[in-house]
Chain A
Amino acid sequence: MTDTNMPQNLTEEFKRSVIRDYALMLCVPMAVAVFIHGFFAVINIAISLVTCWIFKSVGKKLLDVQFPPRTYHTFVIGTAVALLLPASAPWWIIAISASFAMGVCVLPFGSPENAPFIPSVSALCFATLCWPEEIYNYSDFGDSLGKMLLYGNSVDDNIIAILEAFVGSVPSALGTGCAMAFIGLLVFIIIRRPKDSIPVFTFIIAICLMAILFPRVATGRVVSVVMELCSGMILFGAVFFISSPFFAPKRTVAKFFWGFVSGIICMVIRYVCPFEEGACFGFLISCAVSDLFDGLPLTRKEKKQIKALEPYIEIVEPVPSVVPEEVLELIPDISPVEEIVEETETSDEETETINRESETLETVISEENTVTEQDAPFFIGGDSNE
């Protein structure tokens, strides 16, 4: 979710808008959950939200954790935790999971925006390891798609069964069942943040490819794709986690490959893990490897952009805190201010050339017009720690 690794160069406004988007988007699976499960959904979400709010207050007072104002981190984390758990989960599982999400993934790192792993997914992983039977218990409603895939069973090979899986008329967690809703949310992301939808598409393509090449059911590859996509938290994760700009790599090329690799990781773990839903562990591993994709070789376009921005890049070197006296003695007796003043006295010819160069650079930048607010700060800042 948004409560993950924050790239250093995103503006506060952008962060707030992303988190508000997620809060708005979460209302859709919430509404579906309440429609299907009724009062249980409301209670579960309320328990999760109250627990998160308690941890937020404790964190603010004891650890000075920063929750940025006018953002909905607590709402987002609490709702996501509740939606990833089943409706029949006991209240203490929900409370402990929400406590884990806040207490382990958020508070130690000082801010929900700086958490290195997705809090809600980490909580689900923890709950899966502790109580796998309770987490995947849909006994009142039958076998979920995930369980069917685990045992090699399949839905019927007809359009009605496929539509049922699509619409969410199958046992699932509280908010992960209705694939149709997630497709609508995906359209929302494409409109609002087209670049962030790139990893989502590559993620879904990877899932489909794996389902086609290595189907777990014998009723055909189409059924395999539908079942894999509609089961568990694949679509929920694709829409809410893979699309998160704080969580994904910074470069567009890196996002493209990272989405694909995340899809493959999630599917491989699904195939081998003994739990009904292993994709949550795959999302954690994707979190850990996202920064590595930013180290991919630069494309021609990116090299051009960097060249255009080179005059504006300040390379910040680490300055030692203590300068020994021996070094100060050996430095010539000119004060730094005077040096700078001397250097800025340029001739008229030099100022003319500088003006000409800046004009050409402006035209280059305006022609290409590919450096956005999101990308430019990354290139300007480079690898600086600030």
Chain B
Amino acid sequence: MIARTRAALAAAAFAFTLPALAVDNVKMLIPANPGGGWDTTGREFAKAMQSVGAVKNVQYDNKGGAAGAIGIAQFVNSSKGDPNAVMMGGLVMVGGLITNKSAVQLNQVTPLARLTSEWEVIVVPASGPKTLKELLDKFKANPGSVSWGGGSAGGTDHILAGLIAKAIGADPTKVNYVPFKGGGEAVSAIIGGHVTAGVSGLSEFAQHIKSGKMRALAVSSPKALDGIPSLKEQGVDVELANWRGIWGAPGITKAQRDELIAAVEKGVKSPAWKESLKKNEWEDFYQPGDAFGKFIDDENKRIADILAALGLGKK
């Protein structure tokens, strides 16, 4: 009801002030609370777009909760046809919308571009298995005996554990996944040797790997990273990027969409963005427009399959 009134208001406002330039005042919806990955990416990217004059003003709106499901619902309901509205999001949202059985889906918004990627790493405590093979042999022989510590159930880390099980021919439902909340719980459980293995974003574990408290066995990128061999290079055919991207509102015209994509492209090419990528250790994973749309469709299928296999979000 409220959302509908708001949409009506937005439509009315739109009718009176036909925009001269679509990207003068961008409204960016960040479907997460301040301080997290989407928030940092969104704010830094908006600043990069401003730095080269691709957009003038940016208003941020944080609407966290349910892995982005609450934010996207608001975006779809209140920004329909608004050529100035954009939304941040990423892989976590793909999984979140499935497990939360959200009524709103990612194909209802307009894909603009994929921006960044962070890769996952598989680690063991310093006293744990020496090689990936050793870990996976143990896993194959007795799946339950290997406890995998990572982020929340159905999140990126859980998905990777499931994909690995599937790739080596083990039963994904047998994955003994132990979800931890953020705030270092997983790190201390791994360093303290309370779980067999740990899965997380590489940047989160990097310093513990460097200090020798954790041993990195594999990364989820196509090639080796930071001297850590990839899963693929070790014969496990799995690749998983924790990617982030940007979307436009539902129901905008092709011209409006192209204008936004052009602004995004200017931002991606800006020196400010290059610096943000470096500082935050994000990989440039730029892919604009239709190609990004197809990528999301593929991810959606792959993630839905593995989540169903893990016993989550049967749909």
Q: Do A and B bind each other?
A: no
